[in-house]
Amino acid sequence: MEKVNVIINEDSINKEKYVNEQEIKSKKNQFSIFIFFINITSFITFSGLLILSWLSLIWLHKYHFVFTFYRYEKTESTSIEYFPIQVNSSFLYAIIIFTLLSITITYIIYIRAILYFKNFVILNDKNKNYIIPISLNLFLFYIGELTHNKSDIFYIYYFIGFIASILSLFYLIKLYYDFDNENENLDFNSFINNTLIYEFFYGSLISLDLYYLFYVSCQIIFYFVERIEIKIFMGITVNFFMGLVVIYICFKLKNMVIALLFDIIYNGIIIFHFNFTENERKNINLNSIEVFLSIIFIIGFLIELIYIFNYKRNKYYYI
């Protein structure tokens, strides 16, 4: 009887082992399918961002919109309208082109990693959360194309853009923090890749989304109350708080691109102000406080840029 029990126990153990192995195998297959689906989604989304971001340059020229930024252009037959933290047309082109180049370079690194190393995790995010801000920015770029058929419901994009920019910033900043940028033992190639991806790609998107968050906030306010006195007051207020918030975030992230792009943005704000003639400024009571604040923040971001550069140069012998 004891032998029979032993045999029965061995059979039951073997059956349990077989069942467990099959369950593990099934879960691995399901996980592999899930990862494959996520990787394909990642590829499609990133490809869409690359294509739409470059198309947005055409839409910016044709429809004067990118995201819901408006490109004011003063000619002999047209005049411009004051808007808070608005940048000059040429500077808006510069900001967008810089962002497009950072997207393109990162996409090339991403495709190279897939083709040569079969690695879809080049953006260093195990949960693929980077798909979320990429998808959100893809949509924000697409808004520029929708402007050629601008209707009474266009203001809805202000609210959608406001929410999208907040969510995008949350994930971009989280991804940046999750990255081990304190690792001093990187080889040169890894250092270059990480600099291009995190310093330029994430830095550019964070900068664009931060600027857009403050810009679209003004658009929402002026949809309800559009008075020139409110616009000028908001210009001073938003200029000040945007500068403080960005300086803090830039310092915490130690990102040179954010400092550089906001130096460009604040220079663009100053140039936009001087597109108005003296008579135009008097007619709308446009003072120079926003210009004064912009100069202070230009100096502040320049100091921050030098500080971050020296910080990274002391940390890495490559620089």
Are 99 and 53 in contact by the 8 Å Cβ rule? The answer is yes
CA distance 2 to 91: 88
Give the residue, 196 or 170, on which the prediction is more confident. Answer: 170
Q: Any idea which of 138-142, 168-172, 178-182, 259-263 has the lowest mean pLDDT?
A: 178-182
> Whole-angstrom Cα distance, residue 175 to residue 124?
8
At 73 the pLDDT is: 83
Predicted confidence at residue 38, as pLDDT, reads 76
User: How many Cα atoms are found within 13 Å in the side-chain-facing hemisphere of 63?
Assistant: 20
Q: Which residue has the higher pLDDT, 252 or 14?
A: 252
Q: Report the chain's mean pLDDT, rounded to a whole number.
A: 84
How is 11-71 classified by DSSP, letter by letter? HHHHHHHHHHHHHHHHHHHHHHHHHHHHHHHHHHHHHHHHHHHHHHHHHHHHHSEETTEE-
Predicted local confidence at residue 120, as pLDDT: 59
Cα–Cα dist 263/296, whole Å: 10
Mean pLDDT to the nearest integer, 218-222:
93
Query: How much is the pLDDT for 26?
Result: 52
pLDDT at 209: 97
More confident residue, 170 or 117: 170
Could you tell me the sign of the dihedral formed by the alpha carbons of 251, 252, 256, 261, in that order? Answer: negative
pLDDT at residue 206, as a whole number: 96
Which residue type does 91 have?
F
Do 60 and 71 touch, CB atoms closer than 8 A?
Answer: yes
Of 80-94, 177-191, 225-239, minimum mean pLDDT range: 177-191
Query: Does 4 have pLDDT greater than 60?
Result: no
Tokens standing for 300? 């502040």
- Among 42-51, 160-169, 189-198, which stretch is predicted with the lowest mean pLDDT? 189-198
C-alpha to C-alpha distance for 150 and 267, rounded to whole angstroms: 30
Q: With bands split at pLDDT 50, 70 and 90, how would you rate the model's confidence at 149?
A: low
> Which one of 223-227, 262-266, 305-309 scores highest in mean pLDDT?
262-266
Ramachandran region, residue 186 (left: φ > 0; alpha: ψ -120 to 50; beta: rest): beta
In this structure, the number of other CB atoms found within 10 A of the CB of residue 66 comes to: 27
pLDDT for res 261: 96
Give every CB contact of residue 37 below 8 A, 6+ residues apart in sequence: none
How far apart are the C-alpha atoms of 229 and 232, rounded to whole Å?
A: 5
**pLDDT digit string, tens, across residues 78-136:** 678 899 999 999 999 999 999 999 999 999 988 888 787 666 566 655 557 888 999 99
Greater model confidence, 114 or 67: 67
Average pLDDT over residues 198-220: 95
CA-to-CA separations, 172 to 32, 118, 160, 200, in angstroms, rounded: 26, 24, 18, 12
Label residue 278 by pLDDT band (50, 70, 90).
Answer: confident
What average pLDDT score do residues 259-282 get?
92
Contact 290, 277 (CB under 8 A): no
Reported in sequence order, the residue ranges of 67-152 that DSSP labels E, i.e. its strands, are 69-70
Confidence at residue 87, expressed as pLDDT on a 0 to 100 scale = 96
